[in-house]
Structure 1
Amino acid sequence: MFEANRGAAPQLDGAGLVIGIVQARFNAGITQALAQGCLQELAALGVAAADITHVQVPGALEAPLALHALAATGRFDALVALGCVIRGETYHFELVANESGAGVSRVSLDHGLPIANAIITTEDEAQAIARLDKGREAARVAVEMARLLQKVRA
């Protein structure tokens, strides 16, 4: 039976986990830095390079469909969504930010699969640069949530 470990340290041993990463190419300088941080952190947590699938999509709106396709394979313990949406002069920012976020959540809940959402939404490029650690954080979230669900389902 599953027991909550109140106050226990997160389980961050990534050995043996299979992780998928979906990276949006739009704002490529930012998203590439997010991906690099994510990949470095996954390696530091013990996830083998051979157990990581890294795909790219045009932008944040396309990320949920790619996440869905990966989730549908049943091969992954967790997924990571990486992207960057910077506010412009039109309503398009809200559309992309809201719909990509809702899509990521829907895929996660529909498949019962943890997805670390690091599609960052910012007012400007400086804020995006200040949030580049979100790639590393997403790696940690993916591993922690994969381990938590394994424990809950055992």
Structure 2
Amino acid sequence: MAQQGPNNLEGDLLAIDARVAIVTARFNEFITDRLTEAAINTWERLGGKAENLASVHVPGAIELAVTAKKLAETGKYQAVICLGCVIRGETDHYDHVVEQTAIGVREVATQTGIPCIFGVLTCDTLEQAIDRAGTKMGNAGRNAMMTAVEMANLMEKIR
């Protein structure tokens, strides 16, 4: 008797029926605008419908999680993307913001069961942030959208 392989589940990279929200921090807007633009462009290229995508802006990275939680709790979205940019400064403020933002985004996903994608750049320099917003290392907003669409589709398959 032939042995069967595992039942593999994977999310598709088609946004046709997906419903996604993007929450973007305005702090370091020069960078975060590029992340959001790339995420929206990727959504369109993956076949996403304009009416199934929401874009919300908040003051800074710390506000991402609470906003993502409210969006996830509406039941309207299958994934929420959190975009931001935190650049290290002269004090340890950076460490606190980065840690609390990461914890908050993770908690939204585990508490709501809605994938919450961490698309927050955590950089030592402005040059690193610029590179990750599309100059040398791709664009973290594009990557976040691809992850969100794949996870939204995977969650549907699991249901």
Do they superpose with TM above 0.5? yes
Range into which the TM-score falls when normalised by the shorter chain: over 0.9
Kindly state the Cα deviation for residue 68 of structure 1 after the two structures are TM-superposed: 0.7
The runs of at least 4 aligned residues of structure 1 exceeding 2 Å deviation read none
Kindly state the Cα deviation for residue 15 of structure 1 after the two structures are TM-superposed: 0.4
Which is higher, the Rg of structure 1 or of structure 2? 2
Q: Is 1:144 aligned with 2:150? A: yes
Kindly state the Cα deviation for residue 47 of structure 1 after the two structures are TM-superposed: 1.0
Q: Is 1:3 aligned with 2:7? A: yes
The CA RMSD measured in Å over matched residues stands at 1.3
Kindly state the Cα deviation for residue 3 of structure 1 after the two structures are TM-superposed: 2.1
TM-score normalized with structure 2 length: 0.91
Structure 1 gaps, min length 5: none
Aligned ranges 1:23-42 → 2 under 5 Å = 23-42=24-43
SS of aligned partner of 1:37: helix
SS of aligned partner of 1:129: helix
- Number of equivalenced pairs: 149
Structure 2 gaps, min length 5: 1-5, 134-138
In percent, how many aligned pairs have the same letter? 38
Kindly state the Cα deviation for residue 149 of structure 1 after the two structures are TM-superposed: 1.1
SS of aligned partner of 2:121: strand
Kindly state the Cα deviation for residue 152 of structure 1 after the two structures are TM-superposed: 1.2
TM-score normalized with structure 1 length: 0.93
Kindly state the Cα deviation for residue 43 of structure 1 after the two structures are TM-superposed: 0.7
Q: Is 1:47 aligned with 2:48? A: yes
Q: Give CA-to-partner distance per residue, 1:33-61, whole Å, 9 cap, x none.
A: 00000000011111111111100000000
